[in-house]
Structure 1
Amino acid sequence: MSTLAIRDLHVSVETKEGPKPILRGVDLTLESGQTHAIMGPNGSGKSTLASALAGHPKYRVTSGTVTLDGEDVLAMSVDERARAGLFLAMQYPVEVPGVSVANFLRTAKTAIDGEAPKLRTWGKEVKEAMGNLRIDTAFSERSVNEGFSGGEKKRHEILQMELFKPQIAILDETDSGLDVDALRIVSEGVNRAKENTDVGVLLITHYTRILRYIKPDFVHVFVDGRIAEEGGPELADRLEEEGYDKYVGKAAPAAV
């Protein structure tokens, strides 16, 4: 049982004009097996939260705490956060020319676990996971994300999630750019990982369509770098009908 605890988190980003506050006091607790959906309009700070939790150097935590099972996440390097059990599925997965998918996956798994996976069982596990996500095994020999479609990049992110078995997975707009079939396949991968490992999921999205496949336990409305309202799955249904206007009108938007 793992717990990610975010307390009064404030984050700024460096701009040409100097530091700009983005997150303005975020409080959230996520436990193993739970799915929390973070929803909100563009520029509300959702992706800033994901990047700050992962340790992106562009984002500076000015106050507040983040702990994973009582350990100070903010004191950890990016690789230490991964080994501790944090995983980020990126909104815009980057291309890594010259590094094959097969080498990347095994190297990353070795770094996270502290030992190399056994070749025979690892190969079988990778092949099965790729099959479940409708990823052609020929992709193993291609450079990471190079020439991949948007849907292929997102499926590759969920492939990593399934293989690395994190304690907490942060999915930053995993649904963006996906057609209906790819959305279903990606969602099935997330649900499969939850069933197999009891991972806690922080799902960042603009839209409710992915929540038809991945059922949230809690929904948080994010506006101007803060959580403006919290509730259960019914809150997402209300957002689909009413939108974010009632929240945005109360505060000036923050930039991501």
Structure 2
Amino acid sequence: MIRLSAFADEISPDLNEQIAVLKSENIHAIDLRAVDHINVLDLSDQQVQNIKRTLTEAGIAVAAIGSPIGKVPIDSSFEDHLVRFDRSVAVAKALDTRYIRIFSFYPPAQAGTGDSDPATYRDQVISNLQEMTRRARAAGVRLIHENEKAIYGDTIARNVDLLKTINDEYFRSVFDPANYLQCDQTPYPDAYEATLPWLEYVHVKDVRADGSMAVAGEGESDWPAILQRLRSDGYNGYIALEPHLANSGQYQGFSGPELFRRASQALQTILRNMDWSYA
């Protein structure tokens, strides 16, 4: 059975309001990205413990850490970034989740806004990701790579290159159709078919032809067809709402309570109409 989750900081920075809206939408898991405007990796140990206790008391599990790991230029200090990565592992263990969402690095800082040839820094991207995968394997957590615009693995071909080259059960793929659309890629069936052997997690947002964000089913992603295919392929993991309806920033999107409810209800309506049970 699939399980619904959400990037609940899209609802509110306040954890109690996040929980209230999640419960009202019958969502029992969270992709923890930020609380009180503090990124998950910048929370203190005490804050992490308090959040864990509050979520547990509310009956909400942590599905994944929505970390910003890999959202730095590839020529920045990898040693410094590994310190941050190790923090993501510690937080994941403290919150009892097996998943850490990551990215595959921006072009070199001197390249400006992504105009350098990705082939020139491919090997360094792979080397960095292999080291992080090694550490994840040792800790028993899985890295799930999101295909976000402007990182190395934003296109179908480069994402598949990463997945094939690293080829490790602790480095898996997030399927985010809207991100592919923003990179002029065809999410379904092209990206889905290409990344299916490594698919471990699904992010739900949608985008219209004019580039504006939409709830699932009102954009170009073809969510009904994607969900039907996921079911026919036996997918039984998390499907996480990340709607970005009010704002879509580099490190965090926002929707607010009412727009988040619209996004939640749109997804759940599709699932009910296809008679796919979820928890």
Greater relative contact order (Cα < 8 A, sep 6+): 1
TM-score (norm 1): 0.37
Determine which structure has the larger helix proportion and give its number. 2
TM-score w.r.t. structure 2 length? 0.35
Q: When you count strand as a share of all residues, which structure comes out higher?
A: 1
